[in-house]
Amino acid sequence: MLTQDTIVALATPSGAGAIAVIRVSGKDAIGIASSVFRSVHEKELSEQKTHTIHLGHIVDETKTYDQVLVSIFKNPHSYTGEDVVEISCHGSPYIQQQIIQLFLRKGCRMANAGEFTLRAFLNGKLDLSQAEAVADLIASDNEASHQIAMQQMRGGFSNEIQKLREELMNFASLIELELDFSEEDVEFADRTQFKELLDRIENVLKRLIDSFAVGNVIKNGIPVAIVGEPNVGKSTLLNALLNEERAIVSDIAGTTRDTIEDEIAIGGIGFRFIDTAGIRDTKDVVESIGIQKTFEKIEQAQVVVYLVDSSELKMESPSVPTRDIPALPAGRSPERGELSLILMEIQKIKNKYPQKPLIVVANKVDQLSKEKLQKLEKNLLVILNASEKSDHLLLSAKTGQGVDKLQEHLLSLVNTGALRNNETIVTNTRHYDALLKALEEVRKVQEGLAMGISGDLLAIDIRQALYHFGEITGEITSDDLLGNIFANFCIGK
Ligand SMILES: Nc1nc2c(c(=O)[nH]1)N(C=O)[C@@H](CNc1ccc(C(=O)N[C@@H](CCC(=O)O)C(=O)O)cc1)CN2
Ligand SMILES: Nc1nc2c(ncn2[C@@H]2O[C@H](COP(=O)(O)OP(=O)(O)OP(=O)(O)O)[C@@H](O)[C@H]2O)c(=O)[nH]1
Ligand SMILES: [Mg+2]
């Protein structure tokens, strides 16, 4: 399907650069380009072969705009499947805009977000999941997300779905054929083979669905909440992890009022660190809103780093029984830095999120003497004994000592097994939803088969499952869906 309009857009980022690329696609792309291009060798653009590059100038009746290189792609041999011309001009925003406006005057229209890739999809150059991967690829900022997007763009995921879809389609046809012979009670579809196929499909779907947990985390970065009392050094730790003065640090307790988040890759995996407002009882309204938000962030986080100020830690009570919170003398509430208070806070988090990995980190160890450091190690073991799920580390956010250990530890928590095995990982919510629905339908077919229901009913559920497979690759789409997907692309893609 070739669309009527010829579209133009800047393919490179806006702003100044060494070179900028303007992309034109559609049936008049070459004709329009040739009307404003003067080749240094007086070549006629429309007579040039596909995939060739030509040096010349962009001109109109009044002036010369720039010296450029023009690349020609002839349909169907282009990214969009249409005639495509790319103009590589000098990267001044003024030149870029002048040339784009010239093409608009000559009859092009400004491309919508994602319209080049939409056309590639409509012309069968990419399926829908591959087109979506193009957007993921552009957004990828670490090795893991890049690898997944690349695999999906090459068609790894679609191929897997496509194969299952075809096999299922064959059975659907056979069963539907039986319906035509219903008088004669024939069986074209071998029920044992069919059951085997359904079991296989069920397993693949389950694996893909399970992979979404990993995929989602890799795509968006693993959220790690940094929490603890005020002034223990949470913001300093955030800055140390990001290697950037991202958050304000001060010796005033209650400096961070709102949460601050930023992402960085560790060992090829994206982590999103969330610096939070220090937890304490406060009458300050703004601060307490911040603290409330801290608890929301703990909820959303996959890992919690609980930071303790070891220079303030009161270590008089090391003989705490393994699992219990130490009892306080009657009538006295615990003070800041007191082990029992810290244990209580940690226990609260653990009770609320028993599954969430919690790392207790003792900060400011640069301020401790050797003896105090040893005492601290012992006390931390007490803290840790409160649960098997947590771990502990000693570090100094200020000097950076031990921060690498924390990074290594975070990395060790991530299940990257699937990544290493080169398995298909689902990262897209739309695909995930379709897979869940497909699995539901496949299970209905399995049940129906087990109960020996009639072929016509079986066929309905099979068609339903096929429908959801088709949603992923784009055999089944709606304008709304396409609009939604491509609106999230950038212009020029
Ligand atoms: N300059 C430029 N760089 C780019 C792109 C582009 O459109 N232009 N791409 C856009 O995102 C990516 C590359 N993707 C592309 C995919 C297919 C074709 C293409 O011409 N395909 C033809 C011919 C293949 C062949 O030579 O055999 C075809 O499919 O028939 C071009 C670019 C990244 N780099
Ligand atoms: N000596 C030493 N000082 C540190 C270390 N980490 C942080 N500090 C200091 O501790 C003070 C508090 O640090 P912040 O990072 O602002 O603490 P915070 O936990 O974010 O505090 P709130 O935002 O108020 O909850 C600052 O004066 C830091 O310079 C460390 O490892 N060693
Ligand atoms: Mg802070």
End-to-end CA distance of the chain: 19
Q: What is the helix (H) or strand (E) element at residue 37, kind and residue range? A: strand 37-39
Residue that terminates a domain, selected from 108, 127, 146: 127
> Residues for the chain: how many in total?
493
The residue whose CA has the least distance to atom 28 of ligand 1 is 77
Q: Is 480 a member of any domain?
A: no
- Which atom of ligand 2 lies closest to the CA of 232? 19
- Is 195 flagged in the annotation as binding? no
Name the nearest CA neighbour of 230 among 252, 259, 262, 261: 252
The residue whose CA has the least distance to atom 27 of ligand 2 is 251
Establish whether residue 471 lines the binding site of ligand 1, counting it when its CB lies within 6 angstroms of any ligand atom: no
- Which atom of ligand 1 lies closest to the CA of 86? 1
Q: What angle do CA 246, 251, 257 make, to 5 degrees?
A: 55
Write out the residue range of the structural domain in which residue 46 sits.
7-127
Residue that terminates a domain, selected from 368, 394, 416: 416
**Pair 438, 365 in one domain:** no
Establish whether residue 79 lines the binding site of ligand 1, counting it when its CB lies within 6 angstroms of any ligand atom: yes
DSSP states of 443-465: HHHHHHHHHT--HHHHHHHHHHH
The partner residues of 19 in beta bridges, in order of sequence, read 90
**Pair 259, 383 in one domain:** yes
Could you check whether the bond before residue 318 is cis, i.e. omega within 30 degrees of 0? no
Taking the C-alpha atoms of residue 488 and residue 323, their distance in angstroms, rounded to an integer, is 50
78 Cα: distance to centroid of ligand 1 (angstroms):
6
CA torsion sign for 436, 440, 441, 447 is positive
Contacts of 55 (CB under 8 A, 6+ apart): 39, 40, 41, 67, 68, 69
Taking the C-alpha atoms of residue 364 and residue 205, their distance in angstroms, rounded to an integer, is 48
Q: Is 237 a member of any domain?
A: yes
What's the domain count of the chain?
3
Pairing relationship of beta strands 222-228 and 260-266 according to DSSP bridges: unpaired
**Pair 242, 208 in one domain:** no
Q: Which amino acid is at 171?
A: F
**Pair 62, 190 in one domain:** no
Q: Is 299 a member of any domain?
A: yes
Residue that terminates a domain, selected from 371, 398, 416: 416
**Pair 275, 372 in one domain:** yes
Taking the C-alpha atoms of residue 363 and residue 227, their distance in angstroms, rounded to an integer, is 12
CA torsion sign for 310, 315, 321, 325 is negative
Establish whether residue 73 lines the binding site of ligand 1, counting it when its CB lies within 6 angstroms of any ligand atom: yes
Taking the C-alpha atoms of residue 221 and residue 141, their distance in angstroms, rounded to an integer, is 10
68 Cα: distance to centroid of ligand 3 (angstroms):
52
Establish whether residue 363 lines the binding site of ligand 2, counting it when its CB lies within 6 angstroms of any ligand atom: yes
CATH number of the domain within which 123 lies: 3.30.1360.120
Taking the C-alpha atoms of residue 39 and residue 54, their distance in angstroms, rounded to an integer, is 7
**Pair 269, 353 in one domain:** yes
**Pair 212, 241 in one domain:** no
**Pair 121, 258 in one domain:** no
The residue whose CA has the least distance to atom 7 of ligand 1 is 79
Q: Is 484 a member of any domain?
A: no
Measured N-to-C along each axis, helices 143-153 and 156-180 cross at an angle, to the nearest 10 degrees, of 40
Q: Do 306 and 228 form a contact (C-beta atoms < 8 A)?
A: yes
**Pair 269, 323 in one domain:** yes
**Pair 79, 183 in one domain:** no
- Is 27 flagged in the annotation as binding? no
Q: Is 482 a member of any domain?
A: no
Longest dimension (CA), the chain: 97
Q: What is the pLDDT along the chain (493 residues), one digit of tens a residue?
A: 445 899 999 999 999 999 999 999 999 999 999 999 999 999 999 999 999 999 999 999 999 999 999 999 999 999 999 999 999 999 999 999 999 999 999 999 999 999 999 999 999 999 999 999 999 999 888 888 898 899 999 998 899 899 999 999 998 898 888 888 877 777 777 889 999 999 999 999 999 998 888 887 777 788 999 999 999 999 999 999 999 999 999 999 889 988 999 999 898 888 999 999 988 888 888 888 988 888 899 998 989 999 999 988 877 654 444 444 445 555 556 677 777 788 888 888 888 888 888 899 999 999 999 888 888 888 777 766 655 556 778 999 999 999 999 999 898 887 555 555 667 889 899 999 999 999 999 999 999 999 988 888 999 999 999 999 999 999 888 888 888 889 888 888 8
Q: Is 373 a member of any domain?
A: yes
**Pair 112, 36 in one domain:** yes
Q: Is 478 a member of any domain?
A: no
Q: What is the pLDDT of residue 3?
A: 59
Establish whether residue 397 lines the binding site of ligand 2, counting it when its CB lies within 6 angstroms of any ligand atom: yes
Q: Which amino acid is at 331?
A: G
Q: What is the pLDDT of residue 388?
A: 55
pTM of the entire predicted model: 0.73
Q: What is the pLDDT of residue 318?
A: 46
Q: Which of 79, 89, 154 to mutate to test the pocket of ligand 1 (most atoms within 8 A of CB)?
A: 79
Sheet containing strand 260-266, edge to edge, reads 260-266, 269-275, 222-228, 303-309, 358-363, 391-394
Q: What is the pLDDT of residue 247?
A: 93
Q: Which of 226, 238, 245, 249 to mutate to test the pocket of ligand 2 (most atoms within 8 A of CB)?
A: 249
Establish whether residue 367 lines the binding site of ligand 2, counting it when its CB lies within 6 angstroms of any ligand atom: yes
Q: Is 268 a member of any domain?
A: yes
ipTM over 0.95: no
